[in-house]
Structure 1
Amino acid sequence: MKRFAILFAAALIGGAPSAPSFARDAPQAVAAGYAIGPQYDTTHVYVAPEDFDRFVASFVATFGGRTSKQGVFQVTPTPSQTMSQLILTPAGTVSVFGFKTPIPYPFGHERTGYLVSDLDAAVAAAVKHGATRLVTTFPDPIGRDALVQWPGGVNMQLYWHTATPNYPALTTVPENRVYLTADAADAFVRTWVGYSKGKVVADDKAVPGASIGQPGKSYRRIRVESGYGRMAVIVSDGQLPWPYGRDLTGYEVADLAGTLAKATAAGAETLVPPQADGDRQTAIVRFPGGYIAEIHSGVAK
């Protein structure tokens, strides 16, 4: 039985992988929470097979970059078949899945895949810091994978490659956007920071609610940075109008208006037009196939 993970794509993009292994960098990796770098952290995007090519073309036209070779593989530990492809853009990396069979539980609910230097140690550290294993470690032809859940129901995939991949550094680091209520937010941040060896870089307890579709209210926004990249934890009453909360990732660009024009020309729809949000201008876009993303640029000072 073939067991292919989407992350086989490293071997399909631009030359042979460098020699294994991550072990030689173990002390640094432990200090960084087993992270390798944000260019190896992918948002998992699930689309219908008939929308697959349209989504990939639209995303690349919007952000630039390149893709791995497309194929149909088994990426889960139980029988399934999915189209799969990796998109490498200067603003972030995306793993695309277009399942031709029913999706085995709980796949499809994980928001991201994070490359780690030592999967067993990373999973053990995640559990120690409060995560729950949703899918215990399983092998694939180029490494191993596991799914974990953090307080608040935040699902992630951790993965490891036998041979070290080599992706280009990002121009801008994307922002993992996590929407929670106060019941879970502090527990999630505590466990994630503990695991990732990250730090809280901002904790604004009174952000104007208009930026999440709640004019007249305020919410708390916690920004975290780690070896896994950036994260915004958006803490509200949960009474969010659509499409807020559906945006898994925020992408930073130099020219928001120009990027939205590219997205529109490539078949994407602007769901929330540009608006001021503190030190940035932000918009929300839906790409062909249904993937919803926040896009932002800094405000000139």
Structure 2
Amino acid sequence: MNRRPGLRRIARVAAAVVVTLLAASAPALTDPGAPPPLAGIAHIAIRVHDLAASTAFYQKLGYEQPFALDHNGQVNEAFVKVNDTQFIELYPTTTKNPDPSFLHLCFEGVDLETVYQDYITRGLTPRSKVRKAGAGNLLFTMNGPDQPFGPQNIEYTQYQPGSRHWEDRGKNLGSNRVADKLLVVTLAVKDPAAARDFYVNQLEFKPVTGSMTLFHLPGDSGEQVELVPAATLGNRARITLQTQSLSRSEHLLRKQHIAFTKVGSILTVLDPDGNIIRIVAR
């Protein structure tokens, strides 16, 4: 009896099983066209008419000021800490810039040099190369869509050992923060369609399912930008903070005698300059 055909069939089956097992155990291939991930939103910067009053207001929300930068002995930038990687930067108004306003949004890069080189490859034109900024972190900047006061200033940073932010990890995390994550930054833009095209087709942010205004950052942070017509906000900032318990956030606001409105599952607070802070549970 010729057993060879049966042996060959067994060999083919065995080989197929081996190939299947190897494929299952091999790491998934990375999409070569995918953009480098962003770790999340690093900070939002706003100019305020009274730096001390604004800092005190955010402290009432439970956010501490771990450090500040000064020029000639005068504080010109205060850092309010949401969590170890997210901050609200407060700048005072000046004679040259007398009006409170939104200033810029900053994203945290997992590997900033890779993000920078990817943007160059995509034909984007950052305003600066990757460099070390005043607080000791890596930074580069780029123009974005037009806002009411000019092109959006987009910053990208990567926290570095020894920087002010890095050395403050695990510190100045108020136990009574009304929320512990910066989830969404809303951008008022002159041309929402052009801004959407820029974020989706240039920066490769992903539209949030069911929304025409919300877009996920590349990566798995879950954080988002929102694009709205300029008339919606003007020069004001609007951020959405995430809390684990909306009822606890409401209690903390009442305890600090901070006025708020509640519509459905969203709490809304205004800071001293009318910037909008929304708090949601997620």
* TM-score bracket, shorter-length normalisation: 0.5 to 0.7
- Within a 5 Å distance, the mapping from 1:209-224 to structure 2 comes to 220-224=212-216
Matched residues, number: 229
CA 1:259–1:119: 2 relative to 1, 3 Å: same
Gaps of 5+ in 2: 1-29, 174-178
C-alpha distance in 2 between matches for 1:98 and 1:110? 9
Paired amino acid for 1:45 = I
Return the offset for 1:286. 1.8
1:192 pairs, out of 186, 199, 203, with: 203
| Whole-Å separation in 2 of the counterparts to 1:245 and 1:257 | 31
Q: Name which of 275, 286, 292 aligns with 2:263.
A: 275
Task: Please show how residues 175-186 of structure 1 align to structure 2 within 5 Å.
Answer: 175-180=184-189, 181-186=192-197
**Alpha-carbon deviations, 1:6-25, whole Å to 9, x = none?**
xxxxxxxxxxxxxxxxxxxx
* 2:129 maps to 1:145: no
Contact 1:175/1:229, CA 8 A, preserved across alignment: no
Post-superposition offset of 1:290: 4.3
Provide the C-alpha distance between the structure 1 equivalents of 2:111 and 2:84, rounded to a whole number of angstroms. 26
Instruction: Report the AA paired with residue 155 of structure 1.
Output: N
Counterpart of 1:259? 249
CA contact (8 A) 1:91 1:172 kept: no
Provide Cα deviations, 1:194-248, integer angstroms capped at 9, x if missing partner: xxxx5444143xxxxxxxxxxxxxxx3334143465114345xx3745x588343
Cα distance in 2 for residues equivalent to 1:119 and 1:160: 6
Contact 2:195–2:227 (8 Å) recurs in 1 = no
Match of 1:42 in 2: 43
Rounded Cα–Cα distance in structure 2 between residues aligned with 1:244 and 1:100: 17
Alignment TM-score, normalising by the size of structure 2: 0.61
Tell me, in whole angstroms, the C-alpha distance in 1 between the residues paired with 2:83 and 2:65.
12
Task: Kindly state the Cα deviation for residue 251 of structure 1 after the two structures are TM-superposed.
Answer: 0.8
Q: Closer, same or farther in 2 for the Cα pair 1:199/1:156, shift >3 Å?
A: same
Q: Which residue of 2 aligns with 1:208?
A: none
The one-letter amino acid paired with 2:70 is: V
| Residue from 287, 290, 295 that aligns with 2:271 | 287
Q: Which structure would you say has the larger Rg? A: 2
Match of 1:114 in 2: 107
- Looking at structure 2, the residues matched to 103 and 33 of structure 1 have their Cα atoms a distance apart, in angstroms, of 38
Partner of residue 246, structure 1: 236
**TM-score when normalising by structure 1:** 0.57
Gaps of 5+ in 1: 1-26, 75-79, 205-219
The 3-state SS of whatever aligns with 1:33 is coil
Q: Measure how far apart 1:113 and its partner are.
A: 2.1
Deviation at 1:147, TM superposition (A): 1.8
- 8 Å CA contact 1:248, 1:292 repeated in 2: yes
Contact 2:137–2:159, Cα closer than 8 Å, also in 1: yes
Q: Per the alignment, do residues 191 and 264 of structure 1 end up closer, same or farther by CA in structure 2, a change over 3 Å counting?
A: farther
* Large movers: runs of 4+ above 6 Å: none
Task: Let me know the Cα RMSD of the aligned residues.
Answer: 4.1
Partner SS for 1:67: coil
The answer to whether the Cα contact below 8 Å between 1:247 and 1:284 also exists between their aligned partners in 2 is: no
How far apart, CA to CA, are the structure 2 residues paired with 1:113 and 1:229? 16
